[in-house]
Amino acid sequence: MRIANLLLRIRDTLADPKKERWSDERLVRLIDEAQKDIAIHTHFFKNEADIYPTKQNLNLPDDVYYITRAHNGDGPIALLSYNDMDDMAHNSAMRHGRVQDSRVTKNFELPMSNWEASKGSKVTALIYDKRNMDSIRVYPIPDFTDSESDAFGVMIHPDATAGVFGVVNQGFGVTISATDSLKPIHLWYIAFPPAITGLSSILSLSTVWDTALKSYAIAHAYDDDHDTKHSEKSAKALALYDRELQQLENVKAGNGVKKVDRRTDYIGAF
């Protein structure tokens, strides 16, 4: 019902009440784009999820825009880019000179070797690529059969019958699934809202954003037509959208509450 009302108001401004120029499907797609654009600019939507570090590259939830924090129960996990990792490797090599040992140290230092091949029994970082936020890389590669994982305070003796987490280790690898022995990584992230696909879809934004949604849809609907007159109308509607976005951002910064100057006398118990 709310989307139908938005479409009615949008068509009033577009002077297209009979749907001769723009279909409902096109305008609904623009409303969906508007809600996502608002989400990107305001970071309005937040979400949380657990992922299990069972392999080197992990798929992220579909609604992830970007991750703000990660934790595995023992403490925060670093969020680093590939460039960050390369820089750390280079700086470590400069400090240590020619280092043959390719293991990671307790201080998260590594020689200028192939850090992407490093293995360990504890995840210390998540490596992201801004060009691809569908997945994230675990560092180091999870490996519970590595007898040289003392860099993380863990040592597995070759003759041991129990591994790090109390699972049976016969020298040929852990005999239990990784999800049973690995702690999940909890993610906090800025999220995209659910898609708007039709009149029955529910908007995630409250009604105070309706004017912004309307202005965005009108601006880009006019932009479909390359007529100069419509280009001017598109620019005007986009300016209204930007103004509405800024006003609502200011309200958000103040938690939607106006400060009132008022003095209250405290009446004590005695």
- Predicted pLDDT of residue 190: 94
User: Does residue 22 belong to any structural domain of this protein?
Assistant: yes
User: Does residue 165 belong to any structural domain of this protein?
Assistant: no
End-to-end Cα separation, the chain, in angstroms? 58
User: Does residue 102 belong to any structural domain of this protein?
Assistant: yes
Residue 267: pLDDT band (50, 70, 90) is: low
186, 200: one domain? no
Decide which of 144, 171, 190 is a domain's last residue.
190
9, 89: one domain? no
pTM of the predicted model as reported, rounded to 2 decimal places: 0.69
Burial of 183 (0-12, 13-18, 19+ CB in 10 A): middle
12, 135: one domain? no
CB 36 within 8 A of CB 192: yes
30, 68: one domain? no
40, 126: one domain? no
The token duo for 142 is: 């999870």
Other C-beta atoms closer than 10 Å to the C-beta of 67 total 18
114, 230: one domain? no
- Predicted pLDDT of residue 156: 31
DSSP character string of the chain: -HHHHHHHHHHHHHT-TT-SSS-HHHHHHHHHHHHHHHHHHH---EEEEEE---SSEEEPPTTEEEEEEEE-SSSB-EEEEHHHHHHHHHHHHHHH-S----SPPTTS---SS-GGG-EESS--EEEEETTEEEEEEEESEE-SS-TTGGGGT----TT-SB-TTS-BB-SS-BSS-HHHHSPPEEEEEEEPPPPP-STT---SS-GGGHHHHHHHHHHHHHTTS--HHHHHHHHHHHHHHHHHHHHHHHHHHTTT--------------
- Give the count of domains, the chain: 2
7, 141: one domain? no
- Predicted pLDDT of residue 265: 54
- Predicted pLDDT of residue 7: 97
Q: How far is Cα 117 from Cα 154, in angstroms, rounded to an integer?
A: 19
The token duo for 232 is: 């001017």
114, 146: one domain? yes
User: Does residue 176 belong to any structural domain of this protein?
Assistant: no
66, 124: one domain? yes
Least confident piece of the model among 2-16, 60-74, 218-232: 218-232
User: Residue 121: which domain range?
Assistant: 46-154+181-190
Q: What is the pLDDT of residues 106-154, one digit of tens each?
A: 455 544 457 788 888 788 899 988 788 889 999 888 876 643 433 333 3
138, 230: one domain? no
User: Does residue 174 belong to any structural domain of this protein?
Assistant: no
Could you tell me which residues come within 8 angstroms of residue 148 by beta carbon, excluding any fewer than 6 positions away?
A: 103
User: Does residue 201 belong to any structural domain of this protein?
Assistant: yes
- Predicted pLDDT of residue 54: 86
79, 186: one domain? yes
- Predicted pLDDT of residue 177: 46
Could you tell me which residues come within 8 angstroms of residue 255 by beta carbon, excluding any fewer than 6 positions away?
A: none
User: Does residue 215 belong to any structural domain of this protein?
Assistant: yes
Q: What is the pLDDT of residues 15-68, one digit of tens each?
A: 999 999 999 999 999 999 999 999 999 999 999 999 998 888 999 999 999 899
CB 159 within 8 A of CB 169: no
186, 67: one domain? yes
Q: What is the pLDDT of residues 166-219, one digit of tens each?
A: 333 333 333 334 444 578 999 999 999 999 999 999 999 999 999 999 999 999
User: Does residue 76 belong to any structural domain of this protein?
Assistant: yes
- Predicted pLDDT of residue 153: 32
Residue 20 vs residue 260, higher pLDDT:
20
pLDDT at 13 > cutoff 50: yes
